[in-house]
Structure 1
Amino acid sequence: MTKKPMAPALCVVGSINLDIIATTERLPGPGETVGGGVLSHQPGGKGGNQAAAAARLGAQVRMIGAIGSDEGGDRVLAAMAAAGVQTESVQRVSAATGTALIVVDEDGQNQIAVCPGANDALDLTEAEFGSDEAVLCQLEISLEVVLEAARRAPGFFAINASPSQPIPAELRDRCDLVIVNETEAEQMPELASAKVLVITYGSKGASLLRQGREVASVPSPKVEVVNTIGAGDAFCAAMVLALNSGESDEDALRIACAVGADAVTDAASQPRLGPLSGYRQD
């Protein structure tokens, strides 16, 4: 099989958080306290996670986001740089770095509460996008900022429409790719007519629809789940890179599902990943 070209450059515009994670035997119910947890601090945020994943998959990645001038900001910035992400376009603002409070149980399932902090101050006034640069956004930042990025990006534009919220037709129609999970797809029916819509089903795999018609569906590899926090973000990064580097719809789905499955075997919010080419099934 002829080797596909290296994935193109990617700019991630989105959230950057510090994850404060309590790992417990089980998730607490309403009003319940569960003891015996183990505490950790990890870099996170959908934008930061997707940028780190794309860089580890071998893409040339830069991040546009906002963090605070605090210790948390120092930590997440250093982590992105260590993953290979170009961080020169990350803005430092007076607000505190965004924070996610996460509880993870022994099966890898989680509960998450997000405090956006500096993410709400992200400003694209001086941002520029190259014609050969794919752009990936999420909805953990202002919808107005996402719309501005969509209007200004001249090339391939994708959104991970998460967390769910109403999407204006202008944004949906501008997207070359929209990625959601099955719950988000149900909550945002307006996405059914997107040019390309990818719906993930967790351990069951994912499907790809073009103009509302399913054209590919693949199962997810069976693996031992350690942590699901960064799996969706790793999937998104891989899906954008695979589709934008010329993979077929089905092959791109298989690659992204393999990357997502690999991600859940790692306890980190920004899991260690191999090169994108290593997930191809030739």
Structure 2
Amino acid sequence: MTGIVVLGSTNMDLVAYVAKAPQRGETVTGREFRTVPGGKGANQAVAAARAGGDVSMIGAVGTDDFGVRLRAALDGSGVDTDRLRTADGPSGTAHIVVDDEGGNAIVVVPGANGTVDHLAPGDEAVIAAADALLLQLELPLAGVIAGAEAARRHGVRTVLTPAPAQPLPPELLAATDLLVPNEHEAAVLAGTTDPGAAAEALLRQVPEVVITLGAAGSLYAARGAEPVTVRAPRVRAVDTTAAGDTFVGALAVAIVEGRPMPAAMAWASAAAALSVQRPGASSSMPYRPEIDEAADADHSPVNH
């Protein structure tokens, strides 16, 4: 078992499935609606736990029914929720439209997540005992920075998913070991749409970068080393919601287990490929035996 702490958001995903997403001012008829536990933090926690990690979640849910369901969903996936606070008011929600191509558009309303702007008593001790801390940007930046700096004080590896994309404060970058943006986020941060150039630019700010490239796989770059690209398995996507979070959760497990980065990326790509073939966010995430089987069958090539 591997010790991973996730400091991040918990949201109830309110998902509408449509043939084609509406344009501004347009009304369309959907064919299905679901409520699915999500949030980038909770998604990464569930993905890591299902991939075999020993995972603790730091964050907040509200006093509404969604809060009860979100906590139960994390518990049900084997995530330790002792550090998951309950804040007065509503839980976070994500309003998601998924089209027939598997693409999505999302509006996030933070709710209780907005209260996580600091570490509560006991949080730092949990972080200090971990092998890795996973961070995203659906919490107030002050809380994310506090977590990253706590991890840095205790020599804990920090893995930051810079989503939603926004400029990153120098103090957060200084406390980040591995940055895992997708193509869009990398372009926002680096000012270029070329993944290789973006990785080179980002390495001036952090020691290691993995840029996820969707169906094209992922690119790894580290200071003083040649970039490595690992392709993704070829699958038909049904719903890409939380594919990136699935990748990061599985990647974190593989890294703290000591796998070389290209092998870790290939294993994480197998997990993400399984998730996009199923609807929903956390509900689509695979368990370790499935990931192992898919990874063994794929043998993703590595390009230097």
Alignment correspondent of 1:273: 286
Name the SS of the counterpart of 1:136 in structure 2: strand
Distance in 1 between residues matched to 2:212 and 2:79, nearest whole Å: 26
CA offsets, 1:199-246, max 9 Å, x none?
A: 011111110011386521011101121111111100011112212221
Aligned residue identity for 1:182: E
- The 5 Å alignment of 1:80-159 reads 80-122=74-116, 123-126=118-121, 127=123, 128=125, 129-153=127-151, 154=154, 155-159=156-160
Q: Does 1:243 align with 2:255?
A: yes
Distance in 2 between residues matched to 1:161 and 1:130, nearest whole Å: 22
Name the SS of the counterpart of 2:53 in structure 1: coil
Name the SS of the counterpart of 2:181 in structure 1: strand
Quick one: structure 1 residues 257 and 64, their matched pair in 2 at CA, closer, same or farther if it must change by over 3 Å?
A: same
Alignment correspondent of 2:271: 259
- The 5 Å alignment of 1:121-270 reads 121-122=115-116, 123-126=118-121, 127=123, 128=125, 129-153=127-151, 154=154, 155-189=156-190, 191-193=202-204, 194-211=206-223, 214-270=226-282
Unaligned runs of 5+ in 2: 191-200, 300-304
How far off its partner does 1:168 sit? 2.2
Indicate the percent of aligned positions where both proteins have the same amino acid: 37
- The 5 Å alignment of 1:46-57 reads 46-57=40-51
Name the SS of the counterpart of 1:114 in structure 2: strand
CA contact (8 A) 1:227 1:265 kept: yes
* Worse-superposed segment, 62-71 or 192-201: 192-201
Distance in 2 between residues matched to 1:219 and 1:175, nearest whole Å: 25
Aligned residue identity for 2:92: G
Distance in 1 between residues matched to 2:137 and 2:202, nearest whole Å: 14
Aligned residue identity for 2:228: A
Distance in 1 between residues matched to 2:226 and 2:24, nearest whole Å: 39
Distance in 2 between residues matched to 1:81 and 1:182, nearest whole Å: 32
CA offsets, 1:223-272, max 9 Å, x none?
A: 12111111110001111221222111211111111111111011121124
CA offsets, 1:98-149, max 9 Å, x none?
A: 0000000112111100000110101413112234431101001111111100
CA offsets, 1:146-200, max 9 Å, x none?
A: 1100111221111111111111233223222110001111111263422110101
CA offsets, 1:55-100, max 9 Å, x none?
A: 1111111100111011010111111111111111100001310000
Aligned residue identity for 1:174: A
CA contact (8 A) 2:131 2:256 kept: no
Unaligned runs of 5+ in 1: 1-5
Distance in 1 between residues matched to 2:84 and 2:176, nearest whole Å: 23
CA contact (8 A) 1:238 1:259 kept: yes
Distance in 1 between residues matched to 2:285 and 2:175, nearest whole Å: 32
CA RMSD across the alignment: 1.6
Distance in 2 between residues matched to 1:196 and 1:242, nearest whole Å: 16
Quick one: structure 1 residues 103 and 211, their matched pair in 2 at CA, closer, same or farther if it must change by over 3 Å?
A: same
Quick one: structure 1 residues 212 and 227, their matched pair in 2 at CA, closer, same or farther if it must change by over 3 Å?
A: farther
CA contact (8 A) 1:172 1:191 kept: no
Distance in 1 between residues matched to 2:266 and 2:88, nearest whole Å: 42
CA contact (8 A) 1:242 1:255 kept: yes
Alignment correspondent of 1:3: none
CA contact (8 A) 1:251 1:280 kept: no
Distance in 1 between residues matched to 2:265 and 2:29, nearest whole Å: 39
How far off its partner does 1:279 sit? 5.1
Name the SS of the counterpart of 1:234 in structure 2: helix
CA contact (8 A) 2:128 2:150 kept: no
The normalised TM-score by structure 2 is 0.86
Counting matched residue pairs gives 276
Aligned residue identity for 1:125: A
Structure number with higher strand proportion: 1
Name the SS of the counterpart of 1:102 in structure 2: strand
CA contact (8 A) 1:207 1:214 kept: no
CA offsets, 1:30-65, max 9 Å, x none?
A: 111111331110000000111011111111111001
